[in-house]
Amino acid sequence: MTPRHPLTPGRAGTASLALALVLVSAAAGSPVSAAGGEGGDVPQGAVAYRTTAQFTTAGRARDLLLHPDSKKLYVGSDDLPETAEAESGLHVLEPADGTLRSTVSQAPGPTGTLGRRAVRQLVAPLPGDGAVFVYPLRGIGTAKEGDAAAAGAWVPGGPVTDAAPGPTPSTVLVAQGSVLSEVDIATASVQRSLTLEGGERFAYDRTRGTVWFTDFDNRRMHRVDLASFKVAATVELPAGDGFAGFTEVDPETGAVWVGLDTSVVVHDATGKPIGSIKGGINGGGVDMPRAAGFDAATHEAFVVWQDPGDTSQPGSDGDGALTVHRTGDLKEAARPVVLPGNHAQSGSAAVAVQPGGGVVFVSDPAAGRITRLERATSPRITRSPEDRTVAAGAEASLTAQAEGSPAPTVVWQVSADSGRTWQAVPGATSTTYSFKAAVADNGRRYRAEFTNHAGVSRTAPATLTVTAPTADGATGGTTGGATGGGTGGAAGGSGDSAGTEGSAATVGGSGSAGGSAGSSAGGAVGGTGTTLAGGALASTGTAAASLAGGALVLTAAGWALVRRTRPRGTTC
């Protein structure tokens, strides 16, 4: 049995209650639906991300890849500044807690000699396990957990500035400044090449066979048809100071997202502008978009914003943010998350999204850590408690339900002032709250408050109606009085008829008087009663008993006189 709630006083005595209490629900005329609620600190079903872990086991993380098959978290890293440890290489982490599984730090140089190499960009997962990656200055490498050294080759030409999976499993696309090439992974030999008018970053839309090559200096994008390896169109970008963030394609819709200065501008698969997003926690400020990832299951984009890290610049606070947006209309799909200390002074952040959006990883190069965030959904009420009517002393039971992620906890609340103020019920932390109802509980309202990391939601309130227990004789008095009155009326009628024959009429009285007497007798037999149907008199206690006794004696005497005045031999 759940403990009594704090507003319940001592139980009132019931012996003095002659009438049942009929208590009116405050919600009369406003039925409560099974689901729904009356509020909370956020809308029901609101999405938020919370930090569940931070890893410092992979040096200065430059890129992240969550392997779709092995589920391992691959991290490409540099050495952290001002530390004596060698942290460059390809790290393999346990995604749940950041445990370091292995590190591949050796890769071939331009002459084939192995050496310790930093990993700047993770390009694609290898089948089953492992990753394709870029290492300075022109290395294309491959490795998986447990390898003593990476396989790799060097691309001819200038330093590699960007890379993406190629049109075939054996190739990658690389940018070397404004030169776009398709390169064989194993040998780094160039299969075909295109020199553009400017730029150094790009995104590949495999589904549509399109490369979007961004020229930040000249504020434009070139759409390259990969089949012909030629520029098919040029799209102008908004004017600005030329800050380069990222270029990414939503694989589901083909829309291209470009981090530009302190905004993200979005164009559809044909290059038509869709809209833009101002970043940071408050949709403005100086934070810069540095990475984006997409999830096809939730149709959401995840954008990492970094503070410039220049405290002399107005608005710079040293903190970055993660924002989540619906890819259809660019609206926020989750509350922004502050990333403390994540600034751009030590390089760009990276993001990796678990399929389904349940977990997101964000790197912080300045702090040498990776933040693991989990998706949470605020409680959504699926069942509100219903109004109840119970007798005092009987058990009242209320049930509420809600869904959310993680599963919400519940606390019941009670209000004695029609919902103006609420108090928590001590110990009532189950979806069903049961307690013994008291008369004083009449009219009180009850609701359940569900809470998890994403917010608080409350059910619609239910109102409790309590009826007092009836004394044993009350019901009997009502029934017995009616019966006694009817009988007395009948007897009075007989006495009145007999009166036409003689003086017995003065003894039997009129039918009305007989009915009153019968009513009194019935009331006395039935116990406590009210005005009764069979007569005009309602009486209780010894007075009623005395009057009833007298009525019975008079009635008996009347019948005796009638019998003596009838001629002998006459039948009744």
Summarised one tens digit per residue, pLDDT across range 26-61 is 333 333 334 667 888 899 999 999 999 999 999 999
Per the prediction, the chain carries an average pLDDT of 81
In the prediction, which pLDDT does 280 show?
64
Q: What are phi and psi of 153, to 5 degrees?
A: -150, 160
In the prediction, which pLDDT does 9 show?
35
In the prediction, which pLDDT does 17 show?
28
Question: Across residues 169-189, what is the average pLDDT?
Answer: 98
DSSP assignment of 341-385 equals: T-BGGG----EEE-TTSSEEEEEETTTTEEEEEEEEEEEEEEEPP
| Ranges 14-18, 95-99, 255-259: which has the least confidence | 14-18
Using H for helix, E for strand and C for coil, what is the string for 31-80? CCCCCCEEEECCCCCCEEEEEEEEECCCCEEEEEEECCCCCCEEEEEECC
Q: Is residue 556 predicted with pLDDT exceeding 50? A: no
Question: Across residues 437-442, what is the average pLDDT?
Answer: 96
Q: How confident is the model at residue 85 (pLDDT cuts 50, 70, 90)?
A: confident
Of 483 and 310, which is predicted with more confidence?
310
The answer to pTM > 0.85 is no
* pLDDT tens digits, 233-255: 999 999 887 678 999 999 999 99
Q: Is residue 564 predicted with pLDDT exceeding 80? A: no
* pLDDT tens digits, 492-547: 333 333 333 333 333 333 333 333 333 333 333 333 333 333 333 333 333 333 33
Question: Across residues 388-396, what is the average pLDDT?
Answer: 97
* pLDDT tens digits, 116-159: 999 999 999 999 999 999 999 999 999 999 999 999 999 999 99
In the prediction, which pLDDT does 515 show?
35
Q: How confident is the model at residue 401 (pLDDT cuts 50, 70, 90)?
A: very high
In the prediction, which pLDDT does 537 show?
31
Q: Is residue 315 predicted with pLDDT exceeding 90? A: no
In the prediction, which pLDDT does 23 show?
28
How many other C-beta atoms can be found within 10 angstroms of the C-beta atom of residue 508?
25
- Render the burial of 457-479: b for 16+ CB within 10 Å, e for the rest: bbbbbbbbbbbbebbeebebbbe
Q: Is residue 18 predicted with pLDDT exceeding 80? A: no
In the prediction, which pLDDT does 314 show?
86
Residue 168 to residue 151: CA distance in whole angstroms? 19
List of long-range contacts for 186-195, beta carbons under 8 Å, 24+ apart: 186/151, 186/153, 187/153, 188/138, 188/140, 188/153, 188/154, 188/155, 188/156, 190/155, 190/156, 190/157, 192/229, 194/224, 194/229, 194/230, 194/231
Handedness of CA 502, 504, 506, 508 (dihedral sign): negative
In the prediction, which pLDDT does 471 show?
61
DSSP assignment of 381-396 equals: EEEPPPPEEEETTSEE
Question: Across residues 263-281, what is the average pLDDT?
Answer: 91
In the prediction, which pLDDT does 323 show?
96
Residue 323 to residue 289: CA distance in whole angstroms? 10
What SS3 state is found at 6?
coil
Task: State how far Cα 461 lies from the chain centre.
Answer: 19
For the chain, percent of residues with pLDDT exceeding 70: 74
In the prediction, which pLDDT does 36 show?
65
| Ranges 176-180, 354-358, 529-533: which has the least confidence | 529-533
| Ranges 137-146, 242-251, 320-329, 365-374: which has the least confidence | 242-251
| Ranges 103-107, 225-229, 468-472: which has the least confidence | 468-472
In the prediction, which pLDDT does 284 show?
57
Max mean pLDDT among 416-430, 469-483, 498-512 falls in 416-430
Q: Is residue 472 predicted with pLDDT exceeding 70? A: no
Q: How confident is the model at residue 282 (pLDDT cuts 50, 70, 90)?
A: low
In the prediction, which pLDDT does 37 show?
77
In the prediction, which pLDDT does 497 show?
35
